[in-house]
Amino acid sequence: MIKDIFTFIVGGKAGEGIRKAGAVAGKIFSKKRRYIFIMDDYPSLIRGGHNFSVVSTSVRKVSSHYMKADLIVALDKRSYDNHIKNLSDQGIIVYNSDDELKDVKGVGVPLKSNAKKYPFKDLILGVGAVAILAAAIGIDKNELGKIIKDQYPTGIEDNIEYAITIYDIVHPEIGGKYQLEEGNQELPFFTGNELIALGAAAAGLDVYFAYPMTPSTSILHYLASNDRDLGITVVQPENEIAVINMAIGSTFTGARTMIASSGGGFALMQEALSLAGMVESPILCIISSRPGPSTGVPTYTEQADLFFALNQGHGEFPKIVASPGSVEETFYLTAELLYLAWQFQTPALLLTEKHMSESRMSVKIDPEKVKWAEPLMHKEGEYKRYIDTNSGVSPLLFPLTKNINKWNSYEHDELGFTTENAAMISKMHIKRRKKLDSIKKFMEKIHTVNIFGEKGPVIFTYGSTTMSVLEACKVGDIEAQVVQPIYLRPFPIWELEKFKNERTICVELNSFGQLATILKNEIGIKPIEVIKKFDGRPFDPIELSKRIKEVVR
């Protein structure tokens, strides 16, 4: 094993239960009170292609997957060929012996021929992968039966029978090979998208609008599956343009509202986002990036939408943009952004990417730490929707009360009536600008930057790459200060300018070095090296640690 990390990889075709097998492996490790991190890799295909799940586990917090695996289960020849290079020095690969393979090493098991008699002969292969893992880490057959019954509620008898058959075949070869230390507490594990949904719910989300677009789609699925328990209305309109326009209308009624999409979907929302800026709609937007441009590579990860997120919409209006650096942080940051959107009546955007959205990680969350998003309400006297205030934030009234003024997409006066008067146009510009100043003053009092470590070279990063950098420093014994700006607009210059004269590097998942450009333009920080990756895959901690060491020597 790599230090204190045990990694399990299962690979095969879409439709063979790969992702489910990875999730069940996570449950097994979690029951042993171990931390986990699960990364799923899959092409944009319903069936076929090459899918695999990587599950890394430890008794200490683990913030990334490792591609060097101790146990690999290859359900087909392609998986064997792709992952034999990922096998650790003392690792074991178990392959499907029904496929024609030459010059193989490892343990062959007739996975497919044993599955033929079952109704779901392809899907049941993932159950075989779980049985192989159970045998390797010393789980007995009775416990394996309980795991299968709990995790595969359909076709229980067939699943258990198949699992025991595979278990009996491999146990003489690999039984009890790995004795994993138990940890101190059992923690739940979630994907980033699940915690985005729960964080918004904790802050008072009322309505969620979305049109499916990977990698944001699972937010829609999760909220739709739990809408009654969470008290949230979930709507899938006909397209992304309808999504954001309906969401703006929803905020007009006083409903706390969130939307989500990927870059292509948000490109369609530009005009309406500008509408939100003009009418001062407190809408929360989730951008889960994919490698682009255009359709790009839908099911893989990249951080190429930073400039895009910062410059959403035409015209000038304040917006808040932030990006979480861990799966756990998605919960709190989503809640905080919903709060800020309503506090300042302006669009707020949470920028993330597939690696954060869909990876699973052990977390500790406390809903009691979340603030409920509440608007500033008009109390008495004449109501003016866009009344100019010292903060730029105008009190609100909602339908079913008297004297509701229009939310106007045209430039308007304080009452919301259309205007082309030069003085009023200028006044409304200044009013909206005041909100930006108020946002900055507020943010100077809250936590806007994560800093890990106290000395050594300064490594700037953001979003999901933060997890990879932290794990790279652990596995590589690198002493460094890892600096992750949580908020990207307004950019927390007041927190970061102290690093202006430090020796810095930057790590990000894009080809242009977008964060490095912002550091240079906003603060004058010019990293000595920008470590970039842009092949759609996240950094592996071991490889990243080597690259960091090459730079900091």
Q: What is the pLDDT at residue 365?
A: 96
Backbone torsion region of residue 328, taken as left when φ is above 0, otherwise alpha when ψ lies between -120 and 50, otherwise beta: alpha
In 100-155, alpha helices (H): 111-115, 125-136, 141-151
Q: What is the pLDDT at residue 123?
A: 95
Same topology, domains 6-174 and 449-552? Answer is no
Q: What is the pLDDT at residue 100?
A: 84
d(CA 538, CA 553): 24
**How large is the greatest C-alpha to C-alpha distance in the chain, in angstroms?**
85
| Ramachandran angles phi, psi of 38, nearest 5° | -120, 125
Question: Domain extents for the chain?
Answer: 6-174, 189-369, 449-552
| Residues 262-292 pLDDT 10s | 999 999 999 999 999 999 999 999 999 999 9
d(CA 421, CA 412): 9
Q: What is the pLDDT at residue 2?
A: 66
Class of domain 189-369: alpha beta
Q: What is the pLDDT at residue 103?
A: 85
Q: What is the pLDDT at residue 175?
A: 97
Q: What is the pLDDT at residue 220?
A: 98
d(CA 99, CA 133): 20
The 3-class secondary structure across 230-246, one letter per residue, is HCCEEECCCCHHHHHHH
Q: What is the pLDDT at residue 48?
A: 84
Which stretches of the chain drop beneath a pLDDT of 50? Answer: none
With beta carbons less than 8 A apart as the criterion, state whether 214 and 262 touch: yes
Q: Which CATH number fits domain 449-552: 1.10.10.60, 3.40.190.150, 3.10.20.30, 3.40.50.920?
A: 3.40.50.920
Give every CB contact of residue 51 below 8 A, 6+ residues apart in sequence.
11, 12, 13, 14, 16, 18, 19, 40, 41, 42, 43
Q: What is the pLDDT at residue 19?
A: 96
Q: What is the pLDDT at residue 500?
A: 94
Model confidence, pTM: 0.96
In 175-314, alpha helices (H): 192-202, 217-225, 227-230, 240-252, 263-267, 270-279, 306-310
- Among residues 256, 248, 453, the alpha carbon closest in space to that of 342 is found at 256
Give every CB contact of residue 145 below 8 A, 6+ residues apart in sequence.
160, 163, 164
Q: What is the pLDDT at residue 195?
A: 98
Q: What is the pLDDT at residue 1?
A: 53
Class of domain 6-174: alpha beta
